[in-house]
Chain A
Amino acid sequence: MKISKEIGLEMYRRMVRIREFELAANDLFRRGQVKGTVHPYIGQEASGVGVCMALRQDDLIAGTHRSHGHNIAKGANTARMMAEIMGKETGYCKGRGGSMHIAAFETGSLGALAVVGSGIPLAVGAALAFKMRHEDRVAVPFTGDAGSNTGNWHESVNMAAIWDLPVVFVLENNHYGVSTNIRDTARVEDLSVRAHGYGIPGVRVDGFDVLAVYAAASEAVNRARQGEGPTLLVTESYRFEGHYAGEPEVYRSRAEVEDYRKRDPIPRFSNYLTSEGLASPQEVEAVQSEIQQEIAEAVEFAKRSPEPEPATAMEYIYA
């Protein structure tokens, strides 16, 4: 697929942004400055960015517990995201949500939801509204391989299918649900065939190849916008870090992880950009420093920000 320099650099920028954000979040977590836990998206950047680059601002995504990447890919501000994961008033959710419920509504995100699969019906509902209102917006729920076993997922795919809703079901197959390999929880190796049971097209792409993802996502989004109904898009991925930051990954071998690291989507794409002449190495490096600076400032911003006032503890429960 041919892309412009502008789009290429933007793709790269977003992937680096996710990577740097996650590294910083990991680091802060290890230093005890982020409460709870974080679920790093490191290694999956091409999947999220490839999909979100195919979306408009007014299209909606719905996330999971691992949705820092999705939100950033959709255009969220890293300072407000960093503030949110540090539980500050200046965060997107005013410190009420934290990492697992991070939601940047203004960028077209329905938020991250921590119960596996729970966000998928929300996207279906949004798509239903779009269709009823004759809007050509698209809803894109993300889930992992494990999430595609939930009732949420199956009911949602079925419902979107019978009503031809403008949904792209993105299934990021990173092969693990916490510690359980997908080969133990699904009988099919190619999860995209599940689409056929519901009468919709299923597509499978290399999740480390941002362009392949972008191409497939664009096609699926287009179908949806044309009113042709939902698509299942499976991106073959892998998370380089544990399920959560600092997890002792006893369920997979170092060798396996190292193997996948060789397929790191970010250097792969920067190589592509420079070798195709879409960008010079300096421009690529400039993006890196720009992002590193941005993240450093985001961390500063978050650290400086105040926590929510105790007197506001009961707000936002009811509208």
Chain B
Amino acid sequence: MTPQERDAVSLGASRPTMSPDLIVQVPSGVTAKEMSYQEAIREALREEMVRDPSVFLLGEDIAKHGGAFGVTRTLFDQFGPERVRNTPISENTIVGAATGAALVGMRPVAEIMFVDFSGLAMDQICTQAAKLRFMTGGQCKVPWVLRMPQGGGAGKSVAAQHSQSLEVWFAHIPGLKVVHPSTPYDAKGLLKAAIRDDNPVIFLEHKFLYSFRGLVPEDDYVLPLGQCEVKREGKDVTVVASGAMVWHAMLAAKMLASEGISVEVIDVRTISPLDELTIGRSAQKTGRVVLVAEACRSYGPTGEWGMVVTEQAFEYLRAPILRVTGRDSPIPFADSIEKGVWPETDDVLAAIRRVVAW
């Protein structure tokens, strides 16, 4: 081993990793089980389908096959082909049919295999479902959930048409709600809330968080939509993040604690409607803000969060608001150029240090 390699190893050994105990959300004393993000989503679907017969699933390959990511595995066996319904490749009409069913009192949970395919259904999502209640002067409501995996993972090479983060497309449309959980605990609680919500909810799952594990309470629980969670309290810097980026933020916060920098991490959870108050309060407290999102930099979610910080906390700022984002590029295939297209923990660390030193 070269001295550099030896250093890297020893550094790696002492460097904290993304283990489940990085984010602990279940209060002590509550009976909980450790499960993956994927399982947590399945449990939410299962429990809601038991609770409410008007809940049913439709999407491609979700029945016996259990979905492209295995999320709906075993649900077909439990609920049958009527309620776990395979569709043809017709994204547009998957959503349109879900809307029609919702209009007459069902609570469909539709699935589009990758958020990248949502383009085929944008009319039904944004021009129809989002606006029906408004256009009809409140005569109807559209209580569906549209589940779509999004996001990328370094070295996984699923490339340009299967790796995007498109939450802002939907967040921009009034009438839609957009949710993006980062942990199994959040995934289950927020999906239940989404299913029970009377509005069309875009439920974005991070495909590379499916295997992340965490504690989930055994009893029924629902988390509120439209609320951020302060995943870690701190007083020196506020880091706002969503999805997989929350893990990078938490890891960076843990590492900086040993340097005496106290980082507060806010998990946005519901992209829209955005909980501006929690973000604002934190920014007022610390005066230093770093925003982290996987989506492309330009016109991405950090633009919105940055303006919210400015609106809520301008006179408390001690440094400019910094953002750490994905690169403005389609996702490449080759490792050498895929590297760096999304934020890494080191990028978040660097940004926090900059803002502290400003």
Contact = CB atoms under 8 A, between A and B. Distances in A.
Given A113-B128, A155-B93, A156-B93, A121 B138 contact: no
Interface stretch (B97-105, B182-190, B212-220, B307-315): B97-105
A162 B88 contact: yes
Contacts of B105: 129
Given A155-B90, A159-B88, A121 B99 contact: yes
Contacts of B90: 155, 158-159
Interface stretch (B16-24, B59-67, B139-147, B276-284): B139-147
Interface string B45-89: 000000000001000000000000000000000000011000110
A67 to B, nearest CB: 13
Contacts of A125: 96-104, 108
Interface in B185-212: 197-199
Contacts of B95: 121
B132 to A, nearest CB: 7
Interface string B102-120: 1111101000000000001
B137 A97 contact: yes
A316 B93 contact: no
A103 B296 CA distance: 39
Contact of A101 (B92, B106, B135): B135
B287 interface: no
B100 A111 contact: no
A111 B123 CA distance: 16
Given A124-B93, A132-B56, A156-B93, A118 B124 contact: yes
B136 interface: yes
A128 B137 contact: no
- Determine the interface band of chain B, counting residues with CB < 8 A from chain A: 35 or more
Contacts of A132: 56, 82-83, 101, 106
Nearest to A122: B100
A122 B103 contact: yes
A266 B236 CA distance: 78
Contacts of B101: 125-126, 128-129, 132
A94 B95 CA distance: 27
Contacts of B142: 319
Contacts of A97: 135-137
Given A125-B103, A159-B87, A162-B88, A118 B96 contact: yes
Interface residues of A, number: 43
Contacts of B87: 159
B100 A121 contact: yes
Interface string B214-231: 000000000000000000
B127 interface: yes
A29 interface: no
B159 to A, nearest CB: 25
A317 B133 contact: yes
A186 interface: no
Nearest to B197: A319
A139 B198 CA distance: 23
A120 interface: yes
Given A130-B104, A158-B88, A319 B143 contact: yes
B330 interface: no
B127 A318 contact: no
B225 to A, nearest CB: 10
A182 interface: no
A229 interface: no
Nearest to B175: A317
A93 B100 contact: no
Given A96-B137, A97-B137, A115-B128, A126 B93 contact: no
Between B102, B138, B174, B175, the greatest number of chain A beta carbons within 10 A of the residue's beta carbon is seen for B138
A52 interface: no
A94 B138 contact: yes
B202 to A, nearest CB: 14
Nearest to A94: B137
A105 B140 contact: yes
A126 B105 CA distance: 9
Contact of B139 (A105, A115, A124, A155): A105
Contacts of A152: 92-93, 96, 123
Q: Which 10 A-B pairs have the closest CB atoms?
A: A121-B96, A125-B100, A94-B137, A125-B97, A319-B198, A155-B93, A122-B100, A155-B90, A93-B137, A125-B101
29 contacts: A91-B137, A92-B136, A93-B136, A93-B137, A97-B136, A103-B136, A103-B139, A105-B140, A111-B136, A121-B92, A121-B95, A121-B96, A121-B97, A121-B100, A122-B97, A124-B100, A125-B100, A125-B103, A125-B108, A126-B100, A128-B101, A132-B82, A139-B100, A151-B92, A155-B96, A156-B93, A318-B133, A319-B142, A319-B143
Given A128-B101, A316-B134, A319-B143, 8 more contacts: A92-B136, A101-B135, A121-B92, A121-B93, A121-B124, A127-B100, A129-B106, A319-B199
Interface of B: 56, 82-83, 87-88, 90, 92-93, 95-106, 108, 120, 123-124, 127-128, 132-143, 174-175, 177, 197-199
Interface of A: 60, 62, 91-97, 101, 103, 105-106, 110-111, 113, 115, 118, 120-130, 132, 139, 151-152, 155-156, 158-159, 162, 315-319
